[in-house]
A and B are shown apart, each in its own frame.
Chain A
Amino acid sequence: MIATQALTKRFGAVTAVDSVDLSVNEGDRYGFLGPNGSGKTTTVRMLLGLVFPTSGTAQVMGVDVPNGLPHVLPSIGSLVEGPAAYGHLSARSNLTLLDAAGPGGGRQSRRRRVDEALEQVGLAGVGRRPVKAYSLGMRQRLGLAAALLRTPKLLILDEPTNGLDPQGSKEIRDLLLTMNRAGTTLFVSSHLLAEVESLCTRVGVLDQGRLVLQEELDQLRAPTGRTVLRTPDVDHAVALLDGRITARDGDRLVVLGGSPEDLVAHLAAAGVRISEISAERVTLEDVVLSVTSHGNDHIAASP
């Protein structure tokens, strides 16, 4: 669906995107992560033909960027750096004008499609109020509705749940999952790790313009082979598992080797009480923090 080879963008002396090789397969739910200013938005803009690469190539839905884009853009829905609309018009007028502005949306079906898109994002009853009176969350929903207008095959969404409350975020996540099951490929850029963790199957992490990680989420979060347990009888447990403890923090122990099942049996037989036990998994946060540096909005004092 999306592939880039050594995609690079320089703005003057600043290298915003540095030799990025993305690969997003059809049907993926791809999470594009990275600190603020790491080049996520510039990459998205290049994929959509808004910004021209300094070097490198990219293909989206099988065509070259940017020359082939006019053929595929009608079936791509996108949200780039926040929603935008004409403030003096209603949601319905905004969507109608946007749909009428370009190809790939029949005129007869326009009214129905606009209504459906508003329904999908939960704005069906919004009426004739002008967009300038909308809350942040409503604007976000309107931006999503614009992305969904022509039942896209590929959704490129920058911070899709920005400005939404927890219920709203959940609602939009469910909508995106439903669309993905119906065959839409998702490419979601975000810095909300929890959101990516609950939505995506594959992640790419950008840091200072470089793609530092691109992997299936399941493999990233594969068990580490260690077990984490909590017990009130810490000393007893430590004595029993001598040499296998890799970390001890209060009543929390990290044990190397053996499955949690075997450990439970072993400890219980020796009379050690266990209040909590599970196989250790790396969280997405651990992974991302280990490969990225500070965002460029963090400006430390120079020594």
Chain B
Amino acid sequence: MIRVEIAKLLRRPRTWVAIGLLCLLPIIVAFFLKLSPLAPRPGEGPAFLSAVVSNGSLFPAAALGIVLPLFLPVAVAVIAGDAVAGEAASGTLRYLLIRPVGRTRLLVAKLVSILVFLGLAVSLVAGSAYVVGVSLFGSNPVLTSLSGTVITPADLARRTMLVLLYVAWSMVGVASIALLLSTLTDSSLGAALGALAALVLSQVLVTLDAADVVQPYLPTRYWLSWVDIFRDPILWHDVERGVLVQGGYVVVLLGISWAGFMTRDITS
């Protein structure tokens, strides 16, 4: 079933359109940076961009930073929101279940295919950004971390890889919310919008001092902590928190999805 789900994901035009758009966005930013005589001042615009102009090989990390706050969550919410609701709406859900595919197995397969999508999306964004970054800005072997110390190209590759994993994992919380809603409704649009509404709420609360009690548990609270991976030494504190918070969302929300889906009447 997992293989079937991945095959369905890869054969769906929408998957590639979403990934294509995700890759395109950082490239557009890169061209503007190249054409403009002024480099953005440190601290202006998306994190990290000022450093990219002097070194194209930092661009993959910057590109992930560009798609992380909005575009990647939207893509993930759309794909995960469609996972079960889309099958229900098209009627294929009932035929899968009487094939029979166990309901647990179906959910697991959907989750795995979402993870595959995430992996593909962040790798291709980073890959295309590397090509564009190096060809537009050149690659400078002497690199400095955000803390000012020198890091080697091998170290940069390792850190970029960590950023990639962290960004992908940050999206798993979004995916869980969308997947939960997707098991509750037959409308994939509703599930995707519901997940995005949850994220917007989380973002609002993150910036609201009055909500500081719940802030450490908000799904978007540690998203931007990936920047800490480029400090020297790496500031693990927030990154670890981020990984744990996302993990908590995955376990709890998928547990609820599973419990609800096992006993739900499939009337679509």
Residues of A with Cβ closer than 8 Å to B?
Answer: 11, 45, 48-52, 69-70, 73-74, 76, 78, 80-89, 93, 97-98, 100-103, 146
Contact = CB atoms under 8 A, between A and B. Distances in A.
B101 A51 contact: no
Contacts, number: 74
Interface in B99-140: 99-102
Contacts of B252: none
B98 A70 contact: no
Contact of A84 (B4, B7, B90, B102): B90
B97 A50 contact: yes
Nearest to B90: A84
B91 A73 contact: no
Contact of B266 (A11, A50, A73): A50
A50 B4 contact: no
Contacts of A85: 90, 92
Nearest to A143: B95
B188 to A, nearest CB: 14
A98 B98 CA distance: 10
Contacts of B96: 98, 101-102
Contacts of B41: none
A51 B263 CA distance: 9
A84 B94 contact: yes
Contacts of B11: 88-89, 93
B267 interface: yes
20 contacts: A45-B266, A48-B94, A49-B98, A50-B98, A52-B263, A52-B265, A70-B102, A73-B98, A74-B99, A74-B100, A80-B94, A81-B94, A82-B91, A86-B90, A98-B95, A98-B96, A100-B3, A102-B96, A102-B99, A146-B95
A81 B88 CA distance: 13
Nearest to A97: B4
B267 A51 contact: yes
Interface string B240-268: 00000000000000000000000101110
A78 to B, nearest CB: 6
A101 B12 CA distance: 17
A262 B221 CA distance: 95
A84 B92 contact: yes
B99 A86 contact: no
| Interface of B, helix, strand, loop or mixed by DSSP | helix
Contacts of B99: 73-74, 98, 101-102
Contacts of B90: 84-87
Nearest first, the 6 closest Cβ-Cβ pairs linking A and B are A84-B91, A102-B99, A73-B100, A50-B266, A51-B265, A101-B4
Interface residue tally of chain B, by bracket?
20 to 34
B15 to A, nearest CB: 11
A97 B3 CA distance: 9
A49 B98 CA distance: 8
Contacts of A80: 94-95, 98
Interface in B187-229: none
Given A52-B263, A81-B94, 10 more contacts: A45-B266, A48-B98, A52-B265, A84-B91, A84-B92, A86-B8, A89-B11, A101-B4, A102-B96, A103-B100
A297 B184 CA distance: 27
A67 B102 CA distance: 11
Nearest to B102: A70
A83 B102 CA distance: 20
B171 to A, nearest CB: 25
B266 A51 contact: yes
Contacts of B95: 80, 84, 98, 146
Interface string B44-55: 000000000000
Contacts of A88: 11-13
A86 B92 contact: yes
Nearest to A86: B92
Given A50-B265, A50-B266, A88-B12, A101 B1 contact: yes
Nearest to B14: A88
A82 B92 CA distance: 10
B7 A97 contact: yes
Nearest to A146: B95
A50 B265 CA distance: 6
Given A80-B94, A97-B4, A102-B1, A45 B267 contact: yes
Contacts of A48: 94, 98
B218 to A, nearest CB: 36
Nearest to B109: A101
Contact of A49 (B1, B7, B97): B97
Contacts of B265: 11, 45, 50-52
Contacts of A84: 90-92, 94-95
Interface string B1-24: 101100110011100000000000
Given A51-B266, A52-B263, A52-B265, A76 B98 contact: yes
Contacts of A146: 95
Contacts of A52: 263, 265
Residue among B4, B91, B98 having the largest count of chain A Cβ atoms under 10 Å:
B98
A7 to B, nearest CB: 14
Contacts of A49: 97-98, 100
A89 B92 CA distance: 13
A101 B7 CA distance: 11
